[in-house]
Amino acid sequence: MVKITIDGKQYEVENNLTIIQAAKQNGIHIPHFCWHPHLSVSGNCRVCLVEVEKMPKLVIACSTQVAEGMVVNTNSERVVQARNAVLEFILINHPLDCPICDEAGECKLQDYAYKYSVGQSRFDFEKVRKPKRVELGPNVMLDTERCIMCSRCIRFCDEVAKKPQLTFTQRGDHVELTTFPGEQLDNPYSMNVIELCPVGALTSRDFRFKARVWDMSSTDTVCVGCARGCNMKMWVRNNEVLRLTPRNNPAVNDYWMCDYGRLNTFKHVNAANRIKAPMVRKDGRLVEVGWDEAIAKVGFELKNFKKNEIAALGSAYSTNEDNYLLTKLMNHLGVKRIDFVPHIRKGEQDDLLIREDKTPNSVGAREVGVRPESAEFGFASILNEIKAGNIKALYVIDDDIAADPVIADALLKLDFLVVHASNENETIKFADVVLASSTYAEKYGTFTNFQGRVQRNKPAISTLEHDRILDGMALSRLDKFGAPNDRWTTGLKRDTRASWRILNSIAAVMGAKWKYNSCEDVFNEIASTISSFKGLSFLKIGTGGAMLNKNKETVTVKS
């Protein structure tokens, strides 16, 4: 450890840090473009210039290591003048297109120009013209004129994605970012360069021109694309999900997120085939009905079967709370056959983030009880018993099991099939009752990733269920559920419910006397009855997650 002074205040820091790292650890912001905490140092933007006593020239904070007794000034007159000059130089050829730039509101150059520059240009000549609207790859668009040559995107491809695809060509003020000959930016993590880009040079082809950042609300949640459970932000406008971006969590995904998770885990939320209300099969076709009728139908039908004629399939796509109440309902009915269908894609895994298990909660489903007591009660056995006619009623939550033709053939032999589903799929074609369940973007809950880390999921868009809750909620509890803002009050709302709430209603008509008013109530019961969850709470899970209590200890990570 060494003692240094920054802007008149003394700090004790590790001796292997650079000035910018030491400042960041102590809440001091030194402006920068090219530096990133998880990339190598390039030192080419020069915006992070600082003054160090006894050094004849200004130094760049991103590559200058701290030393005992070092005195640093980040806002001296020399530093301010140098910073203004660097910003003026960067802006000489930068296009004045902030009004149409997707990065507006999130742009470092825009922020720094407002905060640090002189506010006017002395350059009266024609700007250098470079290629615009360049399709670097399937997901990323490049506006070369906006590029400030920070090289973050190049270093990311080289060092993190491990697939060198980007480079600089030309010289001087004609330098251009481009792909190597015959290459395109198509690695599985290519869209991370969008957040890394400190200006609007690299933008998302999917999100391009859809909304401005100040028109959207963002919600901290987790990705459901695989068992990693990457921490992310979900961005919403008019009750519609528009984009997903990574949220830093060193214990899970650092600053990154794969392209599949960004683009393929929210489109079904906005899709035209969403199930808008519960449905009951009448005269051979599914008809929309009210919740009371659908729940009463399920309760009435299940009472007509013996306990050994009923089976249930949970879901690794559902939350811990959903799966726990399914298990509890089956226990109430005396049903022992309960399992879930795994979704493993062999070989589709890498050393960075992507996992073969394409579900967010297979570990959690098993932990809360969605697992057979023995092989004779497992999924393979359930399927065989359905084919043999011994299992006559099946309860399925949040999984399209009939996408497998073998399973679809077996479902034809059932007398009664209940399905929780958010979107039209193959399984509802065989269902007698379809209960409209909320997607992960519309409900509270927790997922447990492959590491055993329990993480909170929060709703980013509203349903009619949320309106009913908010209408009857005391103001003192609004902070737990999110105050009603634009995302709760505008846009299309569907009459869907979280699966745990649907199961709670069905249990009531089956004679159970459960008292759950919120998802947190369900989790608190999980934490009090299942040893691996003991000691956990929504508060302890926080924004960074908490490890399952395998050793009777709770380990939390701050986001």
pLDDT in tens, the chain (559 residues): 999 999 999 999 999 999 999 999 999 999 999 999 999 999 999 999 999 999 999 999 999 999 999 999 999 999 999 999 999 999 999 998 999 999 999 999 999 999 988 777 787 788 999 999 999 999 999 999 999 999 999 999 999 999 999 999 998 889 999 999 999 999 999 999 999 999 999 999 999 999 999 999 999 999 999 999 999 999 999 999 999 999 999 999 999 999 999 999 999 999 999 999 999 999 999 999 999 999 999 999 999 999 999 999 999 999 999 999 999 999 999 999 999 999 999 999 999 999 999 999 999 999 999 998 877 788 999 999 999 999 999 999 999 999 999 999 999 999 999 999 999 999 999 999 999 999 999 999 999 999 999 999 999 999 887 766 655 444 334 444 444 444 444 567 788 999 999 999 999 999 999 989 999 999 999 999 999 999 999 999 999 999 998 764 443 333 3
Checking DSSP bridges between strand 231-237 and strand 393-397, what pairing results, if any?
Answer: unpaired
Residue 537 CB partners (closer than 8 Å, separation 6+): 523, 524, 527
CATH code of the domain occupying 2-91: 3.10.20.740
pLDDT, position 142: 98
Which alpha helices (DSSP H) does 197-290 contain, by range?
Answer: 259-264, 267-270
- Exposure class string for 434-473: b at 16+ Cβ within 10 A, else e: bbbbbbbbbbbbbbbbbebbbbbbbbbbbbebbeeebeeb
Distance of CA 423 to the CA centre of its chain: 20
| DSSP symbols for 189-220 | TTTHHHHH-SSSSEEETTTTTS--GGG-EEEE
Checking DSSP bridges between strand 433-436 and strand 416-421, what pairing results, if any?
Answer: parallel
Residue 111 phi/psi, 5° resolution?
-65, -45
Q: Is CATH 3.40.50.740 what the domain over 279-547 is classified as, yes or no?
A: yes
Where along the chain do its domains lie? Answer: 2-91, 98-270, 279-547
Distance of CA 50 to the CA centre of its chain: 37
Would you say the C-alpha torsion 25, 29, 30, 35 has a positive or negative sign? positive
Residue 240 phi/psi, 5° resolution?
-130, 130
pLDDT, position 470: 58
Burial class (CB in 10 A: 0-12, 13-18, 19+), 276: middle
Give the architecture-level CATH label for domain 98-270: 2-Layer Sandwich (3.30)
Burial class (CB in 10 A: 0-12, 13-18, 19+), 138: middle
In 210-349, where do the E strands start and end? Answer: 217-222, 231-237, 240-246, 279-282, 285-288, 310-313, 338-339
Token pair of 320, please? 């811990």
Q: Look up the pTM and report it.
A: 0.91
Residue 42 is given by DSSP the state -
